[in-house]
Each structure stands twice: as C-alpha cells, then as structure tokens.
Amino acid sequence: MRTPLVAGNWKMNGSLAENESLLTALLDGLDRVGKAEIAVCVPYVYIPQVAQMLKGSRVAWGAQDVAKEEQGAFTGEVSASMLRDFQCTYAIVGHSERRSLYGESDELVALKFAAAIEKGLVPILCVGELLEERERGTTEAVVERQLKAVVEHCGIDSFAAAVIAYEPVWAIGTGKTATPRQAQDVHAFIRGWLAEQSETVASEIRILYGGSVKAANAAELFVQDDIDGGLIGGASLNAEEFLKICEAAG
Ligand code: 13P
C-alpha cells in the first residue's frame, strides 16, 4: 500500500511572520489528519526557519528546485547537499513554472533529478501538458517525453526514491481542476508506462495530482486508484484549507 503524500508548494510566497503563523496553525491541527504524510516546499531562504519549526513533527520540508551542479562558480544556485544540511527531505524538480518561465528543458530537469537522488533528496518530478497540447490530443505524448528524459538519464530504478506529480498546466492557479476522471486517466497512463520498465517501481511510486486542489475537491481526486495525494499551491498557504486537504488524503 502506498502512503498518501500531501505536499504544499508555497511558490514565492511568505514572510518570517506569515510562515510562523501558518506553521503554528498547521502543527496545531495535525491530530485531525490520518495516515497521510505531509510536507511543505518553501522558498530557499525560509528553509532554516521551517526546519527549526517543524523539527520533531510529522511534517517534512523541502525546496522548490535544486541545482544540477554540486558546488562551485554557479551564482544564485543552491545544491542538493546544501539542502541536506538543513534536513530537507524533498526537492521539486521540473515544475511547469520553471519549465515555462525559466526555460528549463527536459534534459536540465533530468540533471536536477539526478543531483537530488545522488544526495539522498527525494525529487518530486512535475510533469503535465499545456492546454493546447491537451486540445491537440497529445497529453500522453508530452508526459511520456518528460518522463523518458529522466528515465534515460537516471535509470528506472532511481524512481524507487522519487515522487511524481502530474500537474496539467491549464489547471495550475486557474481554479480549473482536472476532473477526477481526467486526472485518473493520466495517472494510470504514467503508472502503466513505468510498469513496462519496472512493475515494482510502478506499484510503489506515489503519483500526486496538482492543479487547483482545494478542500472542496480533494476527496474526489484522492479516492481515484492511481492518485496518491496532491501537490498543493495556493491552498497550502491557508492552514485550515491545507489541513482539510491532508484530512481528505489520510
Ligand atoms: P495551485 O494549487 O495554486 O493551482 O498550484 C498547483 C501547483 O503548481 C503546485 O505545484
């Protein structure tokens, strides 16, 4: 059985004061949440604050990106071992905002995934199609291309220590959630594609759904066979809303 995971992606939001009240409220409400694992992926500069507040709790933390390099003259980058210094469990790689706004290619995402695995960070690999790609009927081809780049570079067995998040780009921050059927179909496709290479990896890996998940729609998504939790943007900035989503997963 796969343990559900609900991960918040704060994106570029927060302040010392806001984070403190958000995390305090989150920690206070945790006894309502069943067996789901919970994590927050926060801006780099807030990782020490979050690590200090969440230490010893059941909430894990991580980053929203990671450098492909290990160390050296790479101005502005943050390496996987630096994240491990602050006990990060996770690093998101290949989020659609990084792919589209910062030009990250499938190849670069694969190198970042490899750098995370190498240092014992769990990559949360984001895949998903644009609206025009869905309308053209190429959703599966796009997701397959994104997965294949990582499998070819890192090997299928590296996915034993990873999480995948399916995030249809048209559903991110738009209030337009994929229907449970649409999401389940792509999740099943991803699991089936992985199973052609490793039955074990396919049956054990957690595939999260992301894109306008809210307390009101979380349960109908999480009940689907191949949806193992969520990657939550906007709704993870509100403790009550995020806790309700965690409850729905647990
Ligand atoms: P929203 O939940 O705000 O749509 O964002 C989803 C997302 O991009 C999580 O990584």
pLDDT single digits (tens) 166-209:
999 999 988 888 899 999 999 999 999 999 999 999 999 999 99
The HSE-up count of residue 89 (CA atoms within 13 Å, CB side) is 18
Atom of ligand 1 nearest to the CA of 97: 8
Active site residue 167: yes
Q: What distance in Å separates the CA atoms of residue 190 and residue 16, rounded to the nearest whole number?
A: 38
Q: Ligand 1 centre from 168 Cα, in Å?
A: 10
Take residue 160 and report the two structure tokens written for it. 């034993």
Look at ligand 1, atom 2, and give the residue with the nearest C-alpha. Answer: 233
Which of 212, 221, 236, 242 to mutate for ligand 1's pocket (most ligand atoms within 8 Å of CB)?
Answer: 212
pTM for the full predicted model: 0.98
Residue 204 is among the residues annotated as catalytic for this protein: no
**Is residue 91 predicted with pLDDT exceeding 90?**
yes
Ordered domains of the chain (ranges, CATH): 5-249 (3.20.20.70)
Q: Is the CB of 234 under 6 A from ligand 1?
A: yes
Residue 228, Cβ neighbours under 10 Å: how many? 25
